[in-house]
Amino acid sequence: MTERTSRHSGTSDGDQPRTAEAIALARAKAEARANEALSDVERQADAPDEGGVNSPAGSTFSRRPVVGSSEPLGVSTLDDTPEVFGAGSTSLDGNGRARIGDRVFASLTAGAGLFVVLLIALVALFLLVKAIPAIAHDKSNFLTSRHWDTTSGALDFGVLPLLWTTVLISVLALVLAVPVAIGIALFISQYAHKRVARPVAYVVDLLAAIPSIIYGIWGITVLAPKIQPVADALTHLGAFPLFADKNVKGGTVFTGGVILAVMILPIVTAVCRDVYERTPQANIEAAWALGATRWEMIRLAVLPYGKPGMISGAMLGLGRALGETIAISLILSKVSNTGPFSFSIFDGGETFASKIANNASEFNSPQQTGAYIAAGLVLFVLTFAVNAAARAIVNRRKEFS
């Protein structure tokens, strides 16, 4: 659900009926409030000081709405571009200065915006600062080593197995989830009757509401034994390294991938559904007019139009899968990293997130913690890149439509 709201940003035109209702409601409500506010202003006019704290003592308080001017004068620098609401959006006192209340409020909101920007910068900064000493003391190569030893005095760790497991499990989840998500999105937007579509969309969103720890305990205790036959069948396929049998039962990348696929299904579905619903009616009708079957119409009109949206939806799902912690940590069995490198999805392992979570109780010395923070930093960079790319695709599309 979260994702659905976030992806709606700037595209609220998708929800016409709701918007119309909301506008009607809003108008009725606000008329009453405008009256209230007006009486407030009248009260203020009796006490001129409130609005003119900064005006020279001698100046009389005159309220001059700057009708027709689209440039608020002397507002804080953040407002230096023309205001979208035009005249009077910033009230000025007699000397053309913004009221103190306006200035305080504007800086307050801008401060909150700045806070969010700084927050991300601080996350990157702190992770970097705490990770660098650990990486500097690392005896083996941080990116390519397969060791992970932070308990003995010397640090000796590398993230290669973590990176491999993280990417493998996420890609597996994506491969399983995207076709299903596209199917559901088509079902909701093109096949189902409107009265059916809404509850269906709600049901899919419910999947996102289930806490991930519950996916975890369900996945390892209930689902894993049930899909073991599938795993056995695949391992019998032969010497294909991806399907090699590693004698791990239940807590495999395969089980984790299936659970992750269920978990990212709602977000991928939501994004796909959104772009499908916004396919121009003209394209759809043109396809019908050519005598296309429903599937041909979808292939001719809906899918090509929705392609960038589908890609970004898949990437948002990937970002979610990369960072999933507790479900994966409960499901995956830990395996030793000695012996030949395992490519199999029927092996255990640890992802960045599950590695950190599994060892959270052992954060003792700063240096040792630094190793885990370094792993967290790589995860942060990974998810940042994937999410930023997904958003870039969405936003580029938005400019066109």
Partner 1 sequence: MTTVESAGSSLASPPGAGIRKVKDRTATTLVYAAFAIALVPLIWLLWTVVSKGIYMLTRNGWFTGTERGITYRDAGGGAWHAVLGTLEQVALCTAISVPIALLVAIYLVEYGRGPLARMTTFMVDILTGIPSIVAALFIYAVFITTFGGERSGWLVSLALVMLMIPVIVRTTEEMLKLVPNELREASYALGVPKWKTIVRIVLPTAMSGIVTGVVLGIARVAGETAPLLILVGYSPDKNANLFSGPQASLPGLIKDQFSNLGSTTILEGGKRVTVHYAADRMWGAALTLILLVMILNLAARVIARRSAVN
Provide CB contacts within 8 A for 174, sequence distance 6+.
261, 264, 314, 317, 318, 321
- The least CB distance from residue 159 to partner 1, in Å, is 14
- The least CB distance from residue 139 to partner 1, in Å, is 22
- The least CB distance from residue 320 to partner 1, in Å, is 7
**Quick one: 193 or 236, whose CB is closer to partner 1?**
193
Give the three-state DSSP class for 157.
strand
Contact 363, 390 (CB under 8 A): no
**Quick one: 259 or 335, whose CB is closer to partner 1?**
259
Cα 220 to Cα 172: distance, rounded to the nearest angstrom: 17
- The least CB distance from residue 302 to partner 1, in Å, is 12
- The least CB distance from residue 205 to partner 1, in Å, is 8
Provide CB contacts within 8 A for 223, sequence distance 6+.
255, 258, 259
The conformational region for residue 245 under phi > 0 = left, psi -120 to 50 = alpha, else beta, is beta
**Quick one: 114 or 233, whose CB is closer to partner 1?**
114
**Quick one: 185 or 344, whose CB is closer to partner 1?**
185
Cα 207 to Cα 224: distance, rounded to the nearest angstrom: 19
**Quick one: 25 or 73, whose CB is closer to partner 1?**
25
- The least CB distance from residue 74 to partner 1, in Å, is 14
**Quick one: 36 or 232, whose CB is closer to partner 1?**
36
Cα 342 to Cα 344: distance, rounded to the nearest angstrom: 6
- Structural tokens at position 24: 């009607």
Buried b vs exposed e over 165-188: b needs ≥16 C-beta within 10 Å? bbebbbebbbebbbeebbebbbbb
- The least CB distance from residue 167 to partner 1, in Å, is 14
Dihedral sign from CA coordinates of 56, 58, 61, 64:
negative
**Quick one: 196 or 241, whose CB is closer to partner 1?**
196
- The least CB distance from residue 265 to partner 1, in Å, is 6
Cα 11 to Cα 398: distance, rounded to the nearest angstrom: 8
**Quick one: 169 or 386, whose CB is closer to partner 1?**
386
Cα 157 to Cα 136: distance, rounded to the nearest angstrom: 11
- Structural tokens at position 347: 């092996």
**Quick one: 111 or 304, whose CB is closer to partner 1?**
111
- The least CB distance from residue 314 to partner 1, in Å, is 13
Provide CB contacts within 8 A for 133, sequence distance 6+.
366, 367, 370
Cα 39 to Cα 252: distance, rounded to the nearest angstrom: 68
How close are the terminal C-alpha atoms of the chain, in Å?
A: 24
**Quick one: 235 or 329, whose CB is closer to partner 1?**
329
- The least CB distance from residue 219 to partner 1, in Å, is 9
Rounded to the nearest 10 degrees, the angle between the axes of helix 253-277 and helix 194-209 is 140
